[in-house]
Homo-oligomer: A and B are copies of this chain.
Amino acid sequence: MTATIEWIDDKVVLLDQRFLPREERYVAFADYRDIIASIRNLAIRGAPAIAIAAAMGIALAVLNVPAQTMVELRESFASVCRDFASARPTAVNLFWAIERMKRRFDRTSGDSLDELRQALKDEALTILAEDIAANREIGRAGSALISDGEGILTHCNAGALATGGYGTALGVIRAAWEAGKRVTVYVDETRPVLQGARLTAWELHNEGIPAVLITDGMAASLMKRGLIRSVIVGADRIAANGDTANKIGTYGLALLARDHGIPFYVAAPRSSIDMAISRGEDIPIEERDPSEVTHIQGIPIAPAGIAVMNPAFDVTPSGLIGALITEAGVLHRPTAPGIASLFECSCYKGESQHSA
């Protein structure tokens, strides 16, 4: 499997996803500002992958900042954290990663500057390793929900490319496939940025997992024809009550699934849960550039000057979610108490802003 993001020779190397599937173009960055730009321009995207990119970017910045004193370094560090926090607004994993890096900084700030720099690099690499491990757990837990022969619909890309590796929604599908279940994955192309057509179809096709690409408007018709037995998506931010922000189009899919009696699942690490936000209405939704709608690969597909709306995410109420699949297991019909219990689970060994 292709690495989404790696730390190599004190550079951050990432696969520029804007060129997929036509070209596997890797870029190596020594300047953290290039990583912020990569998050903004979607060279790297997907809530868990953004978290890893931010953590690595912060570590890279601290490594290269010409600070001589801890006071200077702390100042630079705080400034870099602010820069990363402004990169994108919706995926909470970004802020979770920044908070982790801040806590590591605080815990290590009694050490030498070099030790601090090494500690922050270690923390970023730990976040990457934990994310991959969490995805494997998500896959293991979620694959029990998938039956042999099942048609599964997914939206956007919640795969290896959206994470440190393996994927969340695609992690569940991969685990079911690895367990010998014959699945067919219906892949919503996911306009405007086409993460389904460009990224999810590419991941599944590369691995020989049966996949059928469709446009977003076809989902309801395929549900009616009985081809789709479950819907699995990732998440960009989950409120404390289970309301889930995910790629625009997810909310409609959840309604259509309910209308057809099809279970709708969200697969995400606990770093996607924001216990500070009680309900979905309070999740900030990013409005992106109109050109994502009016142009495809630089070619205009709409009249010049037409008004556009381009919210990148929508919110699915928890009542439409059949199960939330995290590295702590499957939470059926997620509600506030169930979500809170995910952070009390004795099996949980990772760190988060909630348990720290």
Q: Residues on A close to B: CB < 8 A? A: 21-22, 155, 186, 188-192, 194, 197-198, 201-202, 205-206, 210-222, 224, 247-249, 251-252, 255-256, 259, 293-294, 296-297, 299-311, 314-315
- B213 x A248 contact (CB < 8 A): no
Q: Can you list 8 A-B contacts with CB-CB less than 8 angstroms, sorted by A residue number?
A: A21-B303, A188-B217, A191-B215, A198-B301, A205-B303, A205-B305, A216-B249, A256-B256
- A303 x B201 contact (CB < 8 A): yes
Whether A217 touches B201, Cβ cut-off 8 Å, given contacts A259-B255, A306-B211, is no
What would 11 more interface pairs be, CB under 8 Å, given A22-B300, A213-B309, A216-B216? A21-B303, A202-B303, A211-B306, A213-B306, A218-B311, A220-B252, A221-B251, A222-B309, A255-B255, A255-B256, A297-B301
Question: Would you give the shortest CB distance from A321 to chain B, in whole angstroms?
Answer: 15
One of B220, B248, B296, B305 near A299 (C-beta < 8 A): B296
- B205 x A217 contact (CB < 8 A): no
- B211 x A191 contact (CB < 8 A): no
Q: Tell me which of A222, A249, A315 has the highest count of chain B C-beta atoms within 10 A of its own C-beta.
A: A249
Which B-chain residue is minimally distant from A304 (CB atoms)? B21
Q: Which residues on B sit within 8 Å (CB–CB) of A306?
A: 201, 205, 211-213
One of B155, B210, B218, B315 near A249 (C-beta < 8 A): B218
One of B21, B210, B216 near A191 (C-beta < 8 A): B216
Q: Which residues on B sit within 8 Å (CB–CB) of A220?
A: 249, 251-252, 255, 314
Q: Which residues on B sit within 8 Å (CB–CB) of A201?
A: 302-303, 306
Which B-chain residue is minimally distant from A187 (CB atoms)? B306
- B302 x A189 contact (CB < 8 A): yes
- A214 x B308 contact (CB < 8 A): yes
- B216 x A215 contact (CB < 8 A): yes
Question: Would you give the shortest CB distance from A280 to chain B, in whole angstroms?
Answer: 10
Q: Which residues on B sit within 8 Å (CB–CB) of A315?
A: 221
Which B-chain residue is minimally distant from A285 (CB atoms)? B221
Q: Which residues on B sit within 8 Å (CB–CB) of A214?
A: 293, 308-309
